[in-house]
Amino acid sequence: MVKIVGFKSYENSEGEEFFGLVLQGGVELVKSEDTGRYYATAKQSTISSTFTEEVCKSVIGQDLPGRIVKTPCEPFEYTIQKTGEVVTLEHRWEYREDEPSMESQVFGTTKSKEII
């Protein structure tokens, strides 16, 4: 599961404003290469939306099925905000839907069953 934790405003090539939702995965513990101590972190990704600013505000806190995964991409420069250091990255974090279970693929069922 991922959670909608915010939104960002963007401008398309025609100068029109649109909004992207900021998604965050669950808490992960990572061991520091420098100190050997663990710290808590969570992966984030942004996806485009067709929502207005008001709708974006209203969906903050909502959970979505899926996860955030590391995806290879063409190298690009990224500036670390805390230090101002410019680094070259060859990956980005992207939202991915959960893979359907074998049961749902074979029998056409979903994890939650409707009660009639």
* pLDDT digits 0-9 by tens, 3-21: 999 999 999 999 999 999 9
Give me 87's structure tokens.
């680094």
Farthest-apart Cα atoms in the chain, separation: 58
The pLDDT score that the predictor gives to residue 115 is 44
Prediction pTM value: 0.74
- Main-chain phi, psi angles of 57, to 5 degrees: -60, -40
Instruction: Return the pLDDT at 96.
Output: 92
Low-confidence ranges of the chain (pLDDT < 70): 100-105, 107-116
The per-residue pLDDT for 101 is 60
**Vertex 55: Cα angle to 62 and 2 (nearest 5):** 25
Q: CA–CA separation, 116 vs 109, rounded Å? A: 15
Strand 67-79 and strand 86-96: the pairing is antiparallel
